[in-house]
Amino acid sequence: MPAFFVPMRQSVRQVMRIMRHSMRQPISAIDFPSWILYLCIRKNNLIMQKNENSLQPDNLQEIAAAQLSNPQAGEGKEDEFIMLPWQNKAHRLPKPKDLPPVFRELVGNAPEVLRTLVFVACAPALGTYAPRLRFQYVYDQTPSTCLLQVIVCGDQSSGKSFARYVQQIIMQKLIDRDSEQRRTEQKYNEMKRRKGKKDGQLPPEPKTDIVNLPPSVSITMLMKRADAPVVKYGAPRTLFMFADELSTITQSNKRAFSDLKQIMKTAYDLGSTYGQDYLSETSYSTVVDVLLNCLFCGTPAAIDRYMDKNAIEGGNITRTILCQLESHIGDEPPTLKVITPAQQQVIDHTIEQLMAATYQDETTMQPEVMLDTQWLEPAITKWCGERRVEALKSCSKALDVFYKRSSVSAFRIACLCQYLYQLEGKKDEKTIHKWVKQIYLAMADYTLYNMISKWGTVYEQINADHVVTDYRPSHLFENLPSEFTRDLLKVTLEHLEQTTPAKNVISRWVKLGWIEKVDKNQFRKLKQ
């Protein structure tokens, strides 16, 4: 069974509890087939049997016993046990040899269990090299660019380090360029400290363009880095952030963390601006189109802290491609083969092509490139239409929301791949369309599956339908007779669940001329 169809540990533990309750004895997760565990993940009909009958604790024992007595029953028929209806025929990525350059070299060096994860991890880094690329999604009114946010989820020492190797290989050209830009900034700052602003001796601040951001970057510095290419070139460009451990971000101060999550939402779409405006001259004030690609790694616990309730409600999860790296006790962490000189030559050549398509010179960017993707629209509308039907059948808000952004992220990766195929110039248009379509479908399935597996249940709980009760005024005054006592008013207030003290009500009505005092605790209406 492919790695991305293995159920999450959280779901495994949940099913184990059900099984223990039903069978009244411990059961080992190792002995319990993964597909049976998967059948029990969801209670809201997102995951169903083919006969659309959900499994109940009273028949789990029977099913488990039957499977355990025949462990070979499922071999060669894995699709039978994938219970999300649209995944009975889940799409797969093309073979490594059929992928575009850079993807091909890195994915081809990965073991089978890592190939999909390596493919996805390459995408935000490569997308950073294509800031002038534009494409039109079928359901959007404005063009977009390759903006991607990826999180690799895995236990400690599970093999997540492959992500660092991937981003270093791809980003080295921009890392070297950033180093030169930082040295320019440092020289200016040193001169500024020595000379100050006396007699106009200080030259203008140099215009730099730094792409790679550390995970500990302040919000002010992020704004400055995002604004720098606008100042220098007259256009924004995509920035990149990598974090070995997501905890380094979540451990920052709460305000900065909150702002970063808001920025990440904004940075998902071209043309969505973010800004800050300070009175102090020493602070950086700007409103800018933040374009940010990121590749984060984290344990399940760290990801849960990052994607808290606010992030789930606010839409951060739907803008994220989650890659789940499964590991089991005794497993050796999967690793990539080292890139060969021949592979490095292909990667370097592709990166040079991408850089040439970005910069004309040190002061000017290349014109925007509009990619023709109209041919892909029928596949997109068909996939989205099928998911929409499944959402209606299951009455799932999670599926209804998740599939839309899963399709967007998959489309962006597919566009990036089409662009790389065309840059390489070795495949004809028909072949490119074939592989790009397959990449889109595979990424749409993969992104949606992982999103549903990780956050589907909690999203349903947070966004459950609520009964809306119409507001009904109490009509306190009308409910009282023409003459009433203070005690009757108190009883009426309690009946209508009003908390205002009776003496306050009487005082207000007397001042308004609505009532008059007849006796100590007796009042008469003057206004009906």
* pLDDT tops 50 at residue 1: no
Q: Residues 174, 290: one domain?
A: yes
One-character DSSP codes across 72-136 = TTTTT-GGGG--SGGGGG---PPPGGGSPTTHHHHHHTS-GGGHHHHHHHHHHHHHHT-TTEEB-
Question: What is the average pLDDT across 197-222?
Answer: 82
Total of domains in the chain: 3
Same domain, 483 and 370: no
Last residue of a domain, one of 83, 115, 143: 83
* pLDDT band per the 50, 70, 90 thresholds, residue 54: very low
Whether 383 is in a domain gets the answer: yes
Residues 142 and 40 in one domain: no
Residues 484, 441 within the same domain? no
Lookup: tokens for 59: 């028949």
∠ CA 232-234-235, rounded to 5°: 110
Query: Is 177 found in the same domain as 216?
Result: yes
Asked if the model's pLDDT at residue 93 lies above 90, the reply is yes
Say which DSSP state 142 is in.
Answer: S
Residue 222 tokens, joined: 């992020």
Query: How many CB atoms lie under 10 A from the CB of residue 501?
Result: 11
3-state secondary structure of 307: coil
- 416 neighbors 64 (Cβ within 8 angstroms): no
Q: Which of the two residues, 180 and 79, has the higher pLDDT score? A: 180
Q: Are residues 275 and 330 in the same domain?
A: yes
Do 277 and 421 share a domain, yes or no? yes
Report residue 256's pLDDT band, with 50, 70 and 90 as the boundaries. Answer: low
High-pLDDT (> 70) share of the chain, %: 76
- Mean pLDDT to the nearest integer, 182-208: 81
Whether residue 219 lies inside any domain: the answer is yes
Q: Is residue 470 part of a domain?
A: no
Answer yes or no: is 467 within a domain.
Answer: no
Do residue 355 and residue 221 come from a single domain? yes
Residue 423 lies in a domain: yes
Contacts of 434 (CB under 8 A, 6+ apart): none
Burial 474-485 (b: 16+ CB within 10 A, else e): eebeeebeeebb
Considering the domain architecture, whether residues 102 and 14 belong to the same structural domain is answered as no
Tell whether 157 and 45 lie within a shared domain: no
Query: What's the whole-model pTM score?
Result: 0.73
Assign 368 a pLDDT band (cuts: 50, 70, 90).
very high
Cα 439 from Cα 433, distance rounded (Å)? 10
Please check whether residues 293 and 431 belong to one and the same domain. Answer: yes
Longest alpha-carbon distance in the chain: 104
Average pLDDT over residues 243-263: 70
Residues 77, 142: one domain?
no
Is residue 422 domain-resident?
yes
Instruction: Say which residue, 426 or 196, is predicted with more confidence.
Output: 426
**Residue 15, pLDDT above cutoff 50:** no
Distance of alpha carbon 30 from alpha carbon 498, whole angstroms = 59
| Per-residue confidence (pLDDT) for residue 81, from 0 to 100 | 28
| Cα 414 to Cα 417: distance, rounded to the nearest angstrom | 5
Residues 6+ apart with CB under 8 A from 503: none
What amino acid occupies position 232?
A: K
Encoded tokens for 80? 């039978």
Q: Cα-flanking dihedrals φ and ψ of residue 278, to 5°?
A: -110, 150
Q: Assess if residue 77 is contained within a domain.
A: yes
224 Cβ contact list (under 8 Å, min separation 6): 284, 286
CA 510 to chain centre: 60
Bridge-partner residues for 502, per DSSP?
A: none
Q: Is residue 200 part of a domain?
A: no
Domain that holds residue 72: 3-83
**pLDDT, tens digit, 9 for 90 and up, residues 394-427:** 778 899 999 999 999 999 999 999 999 999 999 9
Q: Report residue 454: phi and psi, to 5°.
A: -85, -45
Alpha-carbon distance of 295 to 120, in angstroms, equals: 10
